[in-house]
């Protein structure tokens, strides 16, 4: 999984990928940790829908995105239920964030993560 934070001016602010810092780290979490503040108007691009719940009791990525001030989220693949319930997009939309889902790219995101699904 990967995530890129792009500012309102179209320039990349930070990027991250899952398990970058520790085994339970998420891509958006890693990217936002590097982006720090000043994300008003920014867009978070992610290969996977930002999570709305986490079994590890860490802050879900949807909440991290809301706290960052980013106003738009674009993702390719809706969270498979084998990880956690896919409530991230709904949480973001409810808070007024523009959410864009790109189902056409989902197959490519799935392909890159096929090992996590237990089949090729
Ligand atoms: Zn997450």
Q: Domain of 58: which CATH number?
A: 3.40.140.10
Q: What is the pLDDT of residues 22-76, one digit of tens each?
A: 888 999 999 999 997 779 999 999 998 999 888 778 999 999 999 999 999 999 8
CA of 8 to the centre of ligand 1 (A): 22
Given a cut of 90, whether residue 11 has pLDDT beyond it is yes
Closest CA to 16 of 78, 26, 24: 26
What global pTM score does this model have? 0.83
Examine the pLDDT at 85 and tell me if it is beyond 60.
no
Give me the domain span that covers residue 6: 2-117
Please state the φ and ψ torsions of residue 12, each to the nearest 5 degrees. -70, 130
Residues contacting 22, CB < 8 A, separation 6+: none
Alpha helices of 1-120 — where are they, by DSSP H? 27-35, 61-68, 88-94, 106-112, 114-117
Question: What's the structural domain count of the chain?
Answer: 1
Measured in Å, residue 113 CA sits from the centre of ligand 1 at 15
Nearest CA among 68, 82, 11, 15 for reference residue 1 = 15
* Residues surrounding ion ligand 1 at CB below 5 Å: 26, 51, 61
């Amino acid at each position: 999984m990967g995530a890129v934070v792009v500012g309102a001016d179209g320039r990349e602010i930070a990027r991250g990928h899952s398990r970058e810092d520790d085994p339970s780290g998420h891509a958006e979490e890693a990217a936002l940790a590097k982006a720090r503040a000043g994300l008003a108007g920014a867009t978070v691009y992610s290969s996977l829908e930002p999570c709305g719940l986490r079994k590890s009791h860490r802050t879900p990525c949807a909440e991290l995105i809301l706290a960052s001030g980013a106003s738009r989220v674009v993702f390719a693949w809706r969270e498979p239920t084998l990880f956690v319930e896919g409530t991230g997009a709904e949480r973001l939309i409810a808070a007024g964030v523009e959410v864009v889902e790109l189902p056409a790219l989902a197959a490519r995101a799935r392909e890159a993560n096929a090992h996590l699904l237990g089949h090729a």
